Structure 1
Amino acid sequence: DRESFDTALMELIDRYEPGLVLLAGFMRILTPDFVRHYHGRMLNIHPSLLPEFQGLHTHERALEAEVEKHGASIHFVTEELDGGPIILQASVPILPGDDADRLAARVLEKEHIIYPLAVRWFAQGRLALNEDQQVVLDGRIMNTPMQLEQATQ
């Protein structure tokens, strides 16, 4: 069951004493105990501009909604599915003739930029989640997610 799986996974991960746990394509809803255990030190990457298109099939849903842009988000993991405080986002335009695969490929390129960047910030001690569940970067509370363009200036 979920609880037993998460307990075993937590025990395995904890053997390595991680400072940060990264989720990527881990298509499983984690138990509240698991999430709380790694609170403030677990990140996820999600293929949408959260809070839009939480959950699965994000590219298809973005195309169906006929939005102008789509992208990826890095966020701290909380008990709310894809609902944790957003750290960093990168967007791509939706182009005429796009299908889910072409859109996913462009989003993936951005994912490969923003996830390592957020991890670097955390490892450098620049990124944290405060007690009020707010993202703090370089000692300042981020009221809105950082956009890739801002992050690379």
Structure 2
Amino acid sequence: MGPVRTVVVNTALRELLAHLDWTPMPRAQRLRAQEVCLELITDGSRPTITVPLPHDQRIAEIARQIMADPADNHSIDDWAYRTSQSSRTIARAFRAETGLTFTQWRTHARMARAVELLGEDLPVRVVARRVGYTTSSAFTAAFRRLLKQPPSEFVPGRAP
């Protein structure tokens, strides 16, 4: 037995594992599906992003909406208006609950989703748009700042 390693479980792998868990199938078919699972496993030694989720009701819904749509570009002032709060209240709550500013937290949320999308083998330009960046270069710069490596290194099958 080799060393224990952390792995990344992307959406396709997670769904296939669930399917294997709940679906009876002939042995040969199960073995083929298990082989596909092994091919989908990516190295978990790559850096990961932790996105602390706030529990404070003043900002929990904001966080949920940003996680659901990381491309949402509403500013903290927009969120303040939409939630009938002051932007200072939101800013203080994010800092107190997550240890990050609103902008830092949103960047973490965007990059966490970007890592998932890159694990699904989507092109960097597509991932950039889906997480709120208008250009691949701006996305790559932000990704590199936070994860200390370019998004191209998160493509499945590529060694870190």
| TM-score computed with the length of structure 1 as normaliser | 0.25
- Structure having the higher strand fraction is 1
Higher relative contact order (CA 8 A, sep 6+): 2
Q: Which structure's CA Rg is the greater one?
A: 2
